[in-house]
Amino acid sequence: MRIYELNDYLAVSRKAAAVIAAQIIAKPNSILGLATGSTPIGAYQQLVQWYQNGDLDFSQISSVNLDEYKGLPRDNDQSYYYFMNDHLFRHVNIASEHTHIPNGMEPDTAKECSGYDALIESLGGVDLQLLGLGHNGHIGFNEPADHFAKSTHCVDLQERTIEANKRFFESADEVPRQAYTMGCGTIMKAKKILIVVSGKDKAKIVDKAFFGSITPQVPASLLQLHQDVTLVGDKEALSLLDH
Ligand code: F6R
C-alpha cells in the first residue's frame, strides 16, 4: 500500500485528484470507479478546475459509481446520480452515456445487480476505483457483516444509517430503506484502488482497517489483500499510524 500523508483536506484533495488525473492522462479511455460522500468532493472540484484549464480531457472516460439508494429517482437531490452530476459530470466533457450508476428506480433487484456486474465486466473492469471510508469501516454500502459480499447487491440500511441520513430529508420516513452497492468482491476486482480519508474522526478506523485484522466486521480491511492500493489522507486521519 502506498500512503500519502498531507497537511490538510485541500492537499488531500489535490493529491487524490492528481492520482486520478495521472490515470486519465496515461489511459484516456479509463474506466473510473467513483464514490460519493463528503471526502471526494474536493478532489472532484480540483479535477473540474484542471478540466476548465484545458489540462484534462474526459471525452473517452467511462465511469461506474459504487452505489445508489433504492427507490430514489435521479432528480431527487439526495440521489447519488444527482450528487455526481452536481459535483463532476455536468462540469466536464464526460459523455452522459458513459456514466453509470446503479438504477435506484429498478424494482427488480436480481436484474439490477447482475446487470451492473455484467456492465462492469463488459467495459473491461474498473481501472481505478475511488473510495471513501465509513467510520465503521464500510466501503460503498458494504456494512460490517459476517461475510464479505462478493458482487453487486441490495442492502437493507441499518437503523443507524437511516438515523444519520435523515437530516438530508424532510423526515426519517423519506430516507430510503435500501440501497444498491458494488460488493467487496466487485471492488477488489478494480485494477487500482485510491482511498481518501480526512479528519481526526477517521483516525481509529484508518488504523483498524489497514493495519488490523482482515475481517468482514471491517469491510475495508479486505483491501489489505489488494495489490495496488493508494491511501491519501491528512495528518489527522493518519495520526494513529505509527507503522
Ligand atoms: C459513497 C460511499 C460511502 C462513503 C463513506 C464515507 O459512495 O459509498 O461508503 O465513501 O460513507 O463517506 P464520507 O466521505 O462522507 O466520510
Q: Are 116 and 102 spatial neighbours (Cβ–Cβ below 8 Å)?
A: yes
pLDDT greater than 90 at residue 231: yes
CB of 7 within 6 A of ligand 1: the answer is: no
Q: What is the pLDDT of residues 30-79, one digit of tens each?
A: 999 999 999 999 999 999 999 999 999 999 999 999 999 999 999 999 99
| Cell output for 98 | 458513459
Contact 218, 137 (CB under 8 A): yes
**108: how many CB neighbours lie within 10 A of its CB?**
10
- Of the residues 143, 153, 234, 236, which is catalytic? 143
Residue 6: closest CA among 197, 196, 234: 234
Give residue-wise pLDDT tens across range 80-129: 999 999 999 999 999 999 999 999 999 999 999 999 999 999 999 999 99
Per-residue cell: 59 = 471525452
Do 24 and 58 meet the contact criterion of CB atoms below 8 Å apart?
Answer: yes
Query: What is the C-alpha separation between 150 and 23, in angstroms, rounded?
Result: 26
Residue nearest to atom 5 of ligand 1 (CA): 134
Cα–Cα distance measured from residue 16 to residue 4, given in angstroms and rounded to the nearest whole number: 9
pTM higher than 0.75? yes
C-beta of 220 in contact with ligand 1 (< 6 A):
no
CA distance 186 to 32: 13
Q: Catalytic: which of 76, 85, 103, 136?
A: 136
Using the 8-state DSSP alphabet, how is residue 163 labeled? H
What's the average model confidence in pLDDT over 184-198? 98
Mean pLDDT of all residues in 3-10 = 98
Give the model confidence (pLDDT) of 139-173 as tens digits: 999 999 999 999 999 999 888 778 878 888 888 88
Residue 138 bears catalytic tag: yes
Cα of 58 to ligand 1 centre, how many Å? 23
Does the pLDDT at position 243 exceed 70?
A: no
Domains of the chain by range and CATH? 2-234 (3.40.50.1360)
Query: What's the pLDDT score for residue 141?
Result: 95
136 Cα–ligand 1 center, Å: 11
- Report pLDDT for 129: 98
Ligand 1, atom 9: nearest CA belongs to which residue? Answer: 140
CA–CA gap between residue 114 and residue 152 (Å, rounded): 7
Instruction: Determine whether 76 is an active site residue.
Output: no
Q: Cβ atoms within 10 A of the Cβ of 8, count?
A: 12
Tell me the average pLDDT across 130-144.
95
Q: Of 44, 78, 138, which is best to mutate to test ligand 1, by the most ligand atoms within 8 angstroms of its C-beta?
A: 138
